Amino acid sequence: MAPTITEDGDDVPVARRRRRWLRWRLLVPVVLAIGGAAAGIAWTQTPEICRTETAGCGRVLVERVSERVGPPEEPDESQLEVVAADHEIEFYGMQYPTPGSYGTMQDLNIDTILIDFAIGAGPEEWMRQLDEADAAGLRVVAWLWTPGWVWDDAGEQWIINDEGRSFLTTVEGHPALLAVYGTHEAYWNECFGCGYNTAQLQMLYRQIKEIADVPIYSAFDGFAFWEDFSDETTFSDGICDYCDTWYYPVLADGTYDRAEYINRLREEVETFRELAPNSKFVWVLQSFSSELSGRSLPDEEELADMAELAARVDIDGIWWYVWSFDQSQYQEVLGGQPELHDVVRESHELFHPLEEGGE
């Protein structure tokens, strides 16, 4: 297929990279040099301890680019037409609901959940968790914590331990399983230079698939940034079957940065579809407040708008993040905000118009 050409004579990927470079060219060296301690850059490092056996670390916001330098842009919704939706999404999900809220998930039209599975719990407990979700009509992205696989520098390969192997073969084939959680922010991994490259992540994907025929889910803090950062961190197929990213647009002062949200939504979908056409793109919606991350809780109008914009573009799944979590990380979460629940319930129709319309 011939490339699409812009008015400037560039094909679309070249034009896209040029836009990003113009936007980030002064910021990336600053971030690398001083870790973001500069005016206009929001930088939050992952805490040394942000997980327990029962609570996931979650998405500690690590903004590697400026929220914006200078006056806010005017939102340009027309750019979403470049990545317009042409199909219904595969799942409408909620991260970290408690088992006692599974009935509420059904009421909110949620069909998929992401929850932790403790590495020491064993097959019987892992199956009980999946059976419980299945009984509530929910599919599961199962995150084994701590992960059962680590990179071995000496051997230049992944070591999947006995617990990891047991987990994979236990959950394989369960009717409630949507996917097994593979890696979290793997290009970053808590600091520049600490992460993994694309070839290493593809190796892990293959090694897991050799043990069990399970779909693999991974989260990435952006695809566009890491493409620009290095050839070795340019995303590709063969890393995850379901791959998510996000931009959380309600800032610490309560400003809804709608223009940047639209920019990021378009940019991430466009980048992903070019780099990994055989993988599935998942978008995460902010429904929390966090002093650590410098984010405020969206109100009903903002939450509905975020969902409506996401429903316009070519995505395969959507998460509401987050239902419940450690209060030290997220001071307000969706489970404790009943005034926002109608937005979640009603936004389902945006992503499943034919189902809701009965046609």
Distance set, CA 325 to CA 59, 118, 321, 330, 350 (Å):
11, 16, 10, 7, 27
Q: Grade residue 69 by pLDDT with cuts at 50, 70 and 90.
A: very low
Rg value, the chain, Cα: 20
Q: If you average pLDDT over residues 222-250, what whole number do you get?
A: 97
pLDDT of res. 192: 77
Q: How many residues does the chain have?
A: 359
Question: What confidence category does residue 354 fall into, taking pLDDT thresholds of 50, 70 and 90?
Answer: low
Torsion of CA 302, 284, 98, 337, to 10 degrees: -10
Tell me which of 34-43, 198-207, 325-334 is least confident. 34-43
**Distance separating alpha carbons of residues 99 and 92, to the nearest angstrom:** 18
Three-state secondary structure call for residue 336: helix
DSSP state, 77? Answer: G
Judged against a pLDDT cut of 80, whether residue 124 lies above it is answered with yes
Q: HSE (CB half, 13 Å, CA atoms) of 148?
A: 25
pTM recorded for the entire structure: 0.84
Q: Is the pLDDT confidence value at 359 over 60?
A: no
* Residue 29 clears pLDDT 90, i.e. is over it: no
Averaged pLDDT score across all residues of the chain = 84
Q: Specify the DSSP class assigned to residue 26.
A: T
What percentage of the chain carries pLDDT values higher than 70?
Answer: 78
Interatomic CA distance for residues 22 and 11, integer angstroms: 17
Residues 44 and 329 sit within 8 Å (Cβ to Cβ)? no
